[in-house]
Structure 1
Amino acid sequence: MAEAHSAVAFSFAITHEGWDVNFDREVLHLVWASGVRSWKKRLARFKNNLKNGVFPAPVHSLWATVAVMAGCHFSGLNVPYAKELLQLMPEQTVKYQLATCAGISLACWLGITYSMRYTLKLLFMYKGWMYEERGKGSRISLATKLWLLAVKTLSGPSKPMLYSFQGSLPRLPLPSVRDTMRRYLLSVKPLLNDTQYERMERLAKEFQNGIGIKLQRYLILKSWWSTNYVSDWWEEYVYLRGRSPLVVNSNFYGIDAILIHPSKIQAARAATAIHTILQFRRLIERQELEPILLQGLVPLCSWQYERVFNTTRVPGIEADKIVHYSDSKHIVVYNKGRYFKVPIYYRHRLLKPCEIEMQMEQILNDTSPPVEGEEKMAALTGGERALWASARLEFFFKGTNRQSLDAIEKAAFVVSLDDEPFEFDENVPHKLDKFGRSVLHGKGYDRWFDKSFTLCVGSNGRIGFNAEHSWADAAVMSHLWEFSVFDEAAGEWADAPVMGHMWEHVISNDCRYGPDGHTQGNPEFKPPSPIRLQWKFPPSCIVAIEKSNQVVQSLINDVDLRIFMHSAYGKGFMKTCRVSPDAYIQLALQLAYYRDAGKFSLTYEASMTRLFREGRTETVRPVTVESAAFVKAMCDKTTTLDERVELLRKASKRHQLNYQDAMCGMGIDRHLFCLYVVSKYLEVDSPFLKEVLSEPWRLSTSQTPHGQTSKLDLRRFPKCISAGGGFGPVADDGYGVSYIIAGEDLLFFHISSKKTCPDTVSWVISFWTMRRTVFLEQEIKKRKYS
């Protein structure tokens, strides 16, 4: 009825009595308000783009420059080029003199500003600081000290906006083929026997001295021409051209801060989470979100934040595409097989949590049944991409289905109000496993897998998210999730005596709960009611939905996911040993995998390249000559404790160096990937690249970043942490391992594999990882190594 009412909001007719105009004042007012909001956003974007375009100089410094220049001119001081320009003026009046001074000031100001900007860009190209030890007792080189001083001086006193540093970030450097071949051969040495290694060495040299020269020339040209020589091809060929289902294979998940449970009321928790997430969107739109600065000084690229909201992946027959909408004033909620369009703005403002809770309660209390095919429709987004693309063109191209699909795809994000609880009990581990599986895939049809992310809310008030991977990497979603979890968790302890001014500011936005578990605050008006989306599915569409659902069900039934909490110790102990926590965990995983499989396998660890503009990820290869030596020593009873600890230190340093190289643009796999893409364009066959790119990653690992929000203070709120998230296995006979270093004494591991593979069992690798981390601690403590 709402759609029909809107359709006749304005009508014009000519009759024998004259012409007649009918209009609905309320609807026209909504149209006017929408236009005003749109223009306000455009003006705000223009203002922000102007500030970012001249950063690090503040805009108001231009007026100071004009004032100084004009003062010098009228006081009789010689201003460069002023006399020459005044001679070109028709008059020598004060007005023309001021205009001349303003023009000279603008030219000088722009020259100084862009000199600072490009100097800052050159400074950010320096990466020597990453390779120097940090902490107490470490010495900083003179070059790094001078670099720190220069960066601090040029960054200026003005507070940077989200995209302020984008123009100052350097391009991703292109390694030489020789360096990449050297690093690659070193990485596969512990994986191959002597005969295999000699063969691979021969193939690498043939490639380096042959077709590799030609392919590298094209990449050099691309690195000069494009902002980032990897990112666009990586997005297109790794993600968008992939035809396999998104569920399990691509999408990833994140779960709640499980050590706290602020509200057990589903509608209240959903409302608070929605409101907090929308506040994060507002910070992005206004560019008020603080850019992440390593060491408080070096910025990370922020371009991925643009597509967090109002974004969807649209299926295609041969390739998908990412569609981002500039604005959205609604979300879409799925509950018990029905879809609802929920307005989030009313009377020129964002709805408050208590008002959103009323909307959620309306949906939960709605008893209308889903139409045939509606309940499992989202299985299309999780199944084969070509089938979904065909069904979308045939059944969702026009009419009612088109309007309803538009509402989903143009929504800020999707919310799923589940009818099952998300549970956690430290003494019942399988409950956390079930929690993870719920947000990884749910029932297979209650997550809109194409959307940038789906907020999942359990019937007991716990939350999680399921995110599509092509638009951004997990670190961006982790930032959003950390912001959301912290904002709620801070509200739970609002009355704690340790709350300072900052915490009072954080919780002053009615994001807390009352004693009854409902959101605090009083609604100022009755919020707009959710609108039930309408669908009409012919029998052939229902067949397509069921076909996709069968594919999805076979995938999710094959997933073996285990999550376990390691509370014996955390990064606090690792740091006392002067060992990188990430390297420590990677070595424990290598040791666990070797004990499980009896061999080493190609291992993937994700590292970011966001120190460069439009950077995404690079691969760190944790299996090294040093790590293999350490693992074998740990399995050899004849090796002494001192030898094991020494090998641990060497392996840790090698891993840390490889990680630093990857972050600094000197990785292996992205360069090889781009060389392979060029070879395909040129229709040139390379035995070396073909073999390298076909190697399976049987152990795929990733660390969930933590502590990206500057507001998060774990010393005051030790339970205010997320348990991280995970992903499905990359290889059919491999493991997917995600871990989060949640605190000084807490780690979470998310381990996935496929049940149909007889060689992989997630609980086995979980058991060995737990045993190995504890065993490593015991070994180090015996040695008293620090």
Structure 2
Amino acid sequence: MADYIRALEPITTPAQLERTKELIRQFTAPQGLGPRLHQYLLDKREAEDNWAYYYWLNEMYMNIRIPLPINSNPGMVFPPRRFKTVHDVAHFAARLLDGILSHREMLDSGELPLERAASREKNQPLCMAQYYRLLGSCRRPGVEQDSQFLPSRERVNDEDRHVVVICRNQMYCVVLQANDRGKLSESEIASQILYVLSDAPCLPAKPAPVGLLTAEPRSRWARDREMLQQDERNQRNLELIETAQVVLCLDEPLAGNFNARGFTGATPTVHRAGDRDETNMAHEMIHGGGSEYNSGNRWFDKTMQLIICTDGTWGLCYEHSCSEGIAVVQLLEKIYKNIEDHPAEDNGLPQHHLPPPERLEWHVNQPLQLRFGQASQSVDKCIDDLDFYVYRYQSYGKTFIKSCQVSPDVYIQLALQLAHYKLYGHLVATYESASTRRFLHGRVDCIRAASTEALEWAKAMCQGEGANVALESDREEEEESRKVKFSIYSKDHLRELFRCAVARQTEVMVKNILGNGIDIPLLGLREASIEVTGEMHELFKDESYNISQCFLLSTSQVACSTDSFMGYGPVTPRGYGCSYNPQPEQIVFCVSAFYSCEDTSASRYAKSLQDSLDIMRDLLQN
């Protein structure tokens, strides 16, 4: 509770904080409810592998009713390929799928190496459970709560391994390893993909875009799924999709209207003849571009959707409830590096006489037919509202940051705080995921970067500036009023405040990864109060608690060993999402907001980030 109060200090008013302190005094008193609930959780710990896992899973994912794309599923962009012909597309897809199959075999044989902590009490073993949930798993919608389909951990020798390939909204089941004929070669897989690429565009009837329904709010999709299941063929289709190792989406390129709307002075990185920038590619991976493009060419419930576009753009959309980003990134980077290190010897036309892949045909009744039109409108509306911007900060990267004796993650988190303060004149509840894999079934807790120390430093760094919340039309007048600057603090004092903010951020990070964060225990006490007394304690209805749980800045480091990046939408309508990939000489940011919120702008926040990183370098160099 002392740590909780400390986390509230920079984001609440004195009156709000005083009321919370009084509630905490009542809650933690010897005769209060707190000690009783704490004991309840201790007893639960003795009885279960991980007392917090299902509380956390339901809170973060299963109970959430809003759509998966943008709000939950991250998208990842890998370095683009150069495809000259459709055969190149098929061969590349085949190599990816062959890599997926090899990884599946390694999991089945129990040869996945155990990872150990690389810092802070080094060599502690890390839980590997989420690595086993990536392939062959799927989320299932429920009217009130979602559930997961997870593959059995028992080794099964006699089952077929298949993937579902979606092209132009048509779905095909491609068997990669069959009981009667063994594992397909890369060339044989390529011939199956080639069949899909040639068959889908030639079919006379326009397919029902069933995949669009998976982009709907969860309760609505659950009811649609129940309607689909009334037909036996649809039931089998759903089972094939859910049990597939992955879904492979073969896409058409997105139009230029998804390109970056950046700030002056930042040049978006462009690929393929000036046509598509990295922001455009990220849109394709996150949501598919809408009903007119590829959003129906998806199954957003599937844990891993590999996406390959005919122009060479490729990447992934993944459903987040089964695993954190690290497991997904490591798997795909391993496969990608193997492809890069071992170029295909023969890209000729594959000649095979396998039976063609089975096309999944859906039986759709009249009420469902109407739902496709409604789903198209609601999906397109959500996509139109997404303000997304991939920004490469190229003045320096983690080489310079390490020379300042600061962890790159801590440094960037403080830059994110400073960027927000420069725009709005205050800090907000900030989420950064911290891995808790030192514990069995551990996933993440929350590193709260908005600290009193960060606030004091940000205030001092913005001395004489005032909050920079003006819109473009007010810029000139505002610039004029800010010409006179007074230097109140010396550089030495600013550096000292920075060191204090770094020390606090580092302390919070270490507490989290060692299992002493505040968010999971608070969640446990809240759920325990409902289970023990039948209602939520006043502490969890408190205004301060609601402020602390509304993450107006949702962030995460997604470190990649390739020049790749992952992005996602904000977690609240008034907030920002910001992932980052620190590289030696640059930092790649994916910033998101919603156009429907007048106070936020992805490009303005990126510009503020640029300014913040620049003045931090000026403060710390030499």
> Once structures 1 and 2 are overlaid, which stretch shifts more, 334-343 or 634-643?
634-643
2:168 corresponds to which letter in structure 1? K
Q: How does 1:719-758 map to 2 (within 5 A)?
A: 721-741=562-582, 743-758=583-598
1:227 corresponds to which letter in structure 2? D
2:148 paired with 1:322:
yes
> Once structures 1 and 2 are overlaid, which stretch shifts more, 227-236 or 365-374?
365-374
1:648 corresponds to which letter in structure 2? F
2:33 paired with 1:211:
yes
2:159 paired with 1:312:
no
Q: What's the CA shift for 1:262?
A: 8.4
**Cα distance change, pair 350–771 in 1 and its aligned pair in 2 (3 A):** farther
The match for 2:315 among 433, 439, 464 is: 464
Residues 570-629 of structure 1 show CA distances to partners (whole Å, capped at 9, x for unaligned) of: 111111111010010011111111111221111111101001111010001001121111
1:558 corresponds to which letter in structure 2? D
Distance in 2 separating the partners of 1:750 and 1:541? 36
Q: What is the DSSP-based 3-state SS (H/G/I as helix, E as strand, rest coil) of the residue aligned with 2:529?
A: helix
Q: What is the DSSP-based 3-state SS (H/G/I as helix, E as strand, rest coil) of the residue aligned with 2:106?
A: helix
Q: What is the DSSP-based 3-state SS (H/G/I as helix, E as strand, rest coil) of the residue aligned with 1:769?
A: helix
2:482 paired with 1:482:
no
Distance in 2 separating the partners of 1:299 and 1:577? 30
2:183 paired with 1:183:
no
- The residue number in structure 1 matching 2:611 is 771
Q: What's the CA shift for 1:207?
A: 1.9
- The residue number in structure 1 matching 2:425 is 598
- The residue number in structure 2 matching 1:513 is 344
Residues 403-461 of structure 1 show CA distances to partners (whole Å, capped at 9, x for unaligned) of: 22222122111010001169997257971111111100003322201111111101122
Residues 436-494 of structure 1 show CA distances to partners (whole Å, capped at 9, x for unaligned) of: 111000033222011111111011223111111111222221221221232223x2xxx
1:293 corresponds to which letter in structure 2? R
- The residue number in structure 2 matching 1:368 is 202
Q: What's the CA shift for 1:342?
A: 0.8
Q: What's the CA shift for 1:397?
A: 3.4
**Cα distance change, pair 528–747 in 1 and its aligned pair in 2 (3 A):** farther
Distance in 1 separating the partners of 2:242 and 2:370? 23
The match for 1:385 among 198, 215, 218 is: 218
The match for 2:74 among 221, 234, 252 is: 252
Q: Which is richer in helix?
A: 1
Q: How does 1:221-240 map to 2 (within 5 A)?
A: 221-240=43-62
TM score, norm. by length of structure 2: 0.86
Distance in 1 separating the partners of 2:313 and 2:546? 40
Q: Which runs of 5+ in 2 are unaligned?
A: 153-158, 260-267, 464-486
- The residue number in structure 2 matching 1:298 is 124
Distance in 2 separating the partners of 1:567 and 1:282? 41
Distance in 1 separating the partners of 2:571 and 2:612? 23
Distance in 2 separating the partners of 1:219 and 1:231? 12
1:186 corresponds to which letter in structure 2? R
Question: Sequence identity of aligned pairs in percent?
Answer: 29
Residues 256-301 of structure 1 show CA distances to partners (whole Å, capped at 9, x for unaligned) of: 035x758873222222222222222222222222222223732211
The match for 1:646 among 488, 491, 496 is: 496
Q: What's the CA shift for 1:760?
A: 0.5
- The residue number in structure 2 matching 1:196 is 16
Distance in 1 separating the partners of 2:491 and 2:49? 50
**Cα distance change, pair 528–647 in 1 and its aligned pair in 2 (3 A):** farther
> Once structures 1 and 2 are overlaid, which stretch shifts more, 287-296 or 674-683?
287-296
**Contact map agreement 1:703 1:738 (CA 8 A) in 2:** yes
The match for 1:588 among 393, 400, 415 is: 415
Distance in 2 separating the partners of 1:526 and 1:245? 42
Q: What's the CA shift for 1:686?
A: 1.8
- The residue number in structure 1 matching 2:546 is 694
Distance in 2 separating the partners of 1:767 and 1:350? 51
The match for 2:437 among 602, 610, 620 is: 610
Q: What's the CA shift for 1:195?
A: 2.8
Distance in 2 separating the partners of 1:407 and 1:467? 18
- The residue number in structure 1 matching 2:536 is 685
Q: What's the CA shift for 1:524?
A: 8.6
1:657 corresponds to which letter in structure 2? E
**Contact map agreement 1:606 1:620 (CA 8 A) in 2:** yes
- The residue number in structure 2 matching 1:129 is none
Q: What is the DSSP-based 3-state SS (H/G/I as helix, E as strand, rest coil) of the residue aligned with 2:145?
A: coil
Distance in 1 separating the partners of 2:397 and 2:50? 36
Q: What is the DSSP-based 3-state SS (H/G/I as helix, E as strand, rest coil) of the residue aligned with 1:191?
A: coil
Q: What is the DSSP-based 3-state SS (H/G/I as helix, E as strand, rest coil) of the residue aligned with 2:534?
A: coil
**Contact map agreement 1:235 1:470 (CA 8 A) in 2:** yes
1:513 corresponds to which letter in structure 2? A
Q: Which has the higher contact order (CA 8 A, sep 6+)?
A: 2
Distance in 2 separating the partners of 1:421 and 1:526? 34
The match for 1:406 among 212, 219, 239 is: 239
Residues 629-655 of structure 1 show CA distances to partners (whole Å, capped at 9, x for unaligned) of: 111111113211111122222211211
Q: What's the CA shift for 1:352?
A: 2.7
The match for 1:530 among 357, 363, 388 is: 357
Distance in 2 separating the partners of 1:289 and 1:542? 45
> Once structures 1 and 2 are overlaid, which stretch shifts more, 756-765 or 625-634?
625-634
> Once structures 1 and 2 are overlaid, which stretch shifts more, 331-340 or 559-568?
559-568
Distance in 1 separating the partners of 2:418 and 2:95? 43
2:127 corresponds to which letter in structure 1? C
Distance in 2 separating the partners of 1:674 and 1:189? 22
Q: What is the DSSP-based 3-state SS (H/G/I as helix, E as strand, rest coil) of the residue aligned with 2:277?
A: helix
- The residue number in structure 1 matching 2:476 is none
**Cα distance change, pair 306–202 in 1 and its aligned pair in 2 (3 A):** same
Distance in 2 separating the partners of 1:283 and 1:626? 47
Q: What's the CA shift for 1:677?
A: 1.1
2:575 paired with 1:575:
no
> Once structures 1 and 2 are overlaid, which stretch shifts more, 554-563 or 476-485?
476-485
Distance in 1 separating the partners of 2:84 and 2:2? 55
- The residue number in structure 1 matching 2:467 is none
2:2 corresponds to which letter in structure 1? R
Distance in 1 separating the partners of 2:383 and 2:392? 23
2:302 corresponds to which letter in structure 1? K
TM score, norm. by length of structure 1: 0.68
2:586 corresponds to which letter in structure 1? L
Distance in 1 separating the partners of 2:275 and 2:490? 36
- The residue number in structure 2 matching 1:174 is none
Residues 546-572 of structure 1 show CA distances to partners (whole Å, capped at 9, x for unaligned) of: 323322222111111111122322111
Distance in 1 separating the partners of 2:613 and 2:167? 42
Q: What's the CA shift for 1:690?
A: 2.0
Q: What's the CA shift for 1:525?
A: 4.7
Distance in 1 separating the partners of 2:302 and 2:594? 25
1:192 corresponds to which letter in structure 2? T
Compare CA radii of gyration and give the structure with the larger one. Answer: 1
**Contact map agreement 2:527 2:536 (CA 8 A) in 1:** no
Distance in 2 separating the partners of 1:387 and 1:193? 39
Residues 650-673 of structure 1 show CA distances to partners (whole Å, capped at 9, x for unaligned) of: 211211111010001100111111
Distance in 2 separating the partners of 1:773 and 1:262? 37
Distance in 2 separating the partners of 1:773 and 1:488? 36
**Cα distance change, pair 477–308 in 1 and its aligned pair in 2 (3 A):** same
**Contact map agreement 1:337 1:370 (CA 8 A) in 2:** no
- The residue number in structure 1 matching 2:155 is none
Distance in 2 separating the partners of 1:778 and 1:562? 26
**Contact map agreement 1:309 1:452 (CA 8 A) in 2:** yes
**Contact map agreement 1:373 1:542 (CA 8 A) in 2:** no
The match for 1:665 among 515, 534, 545 is: 515
2:109 paired with 1:286:
yes
Q: What's the CA shift for 1:242?
A: 2.0
- The residue number in structure 2 matching 1:55 is none
- The residue number in structure 2 matching 1:137 is none
2:61 corresponds to which letter in structure 1? Y
- The residue number in structure 2 matching 1:564 is 391
Residues 735-768 of structure 1 show CA distances to partners (whole Å, capped at 9, x for unaligned) of: 0111112x32132111111110000000011111
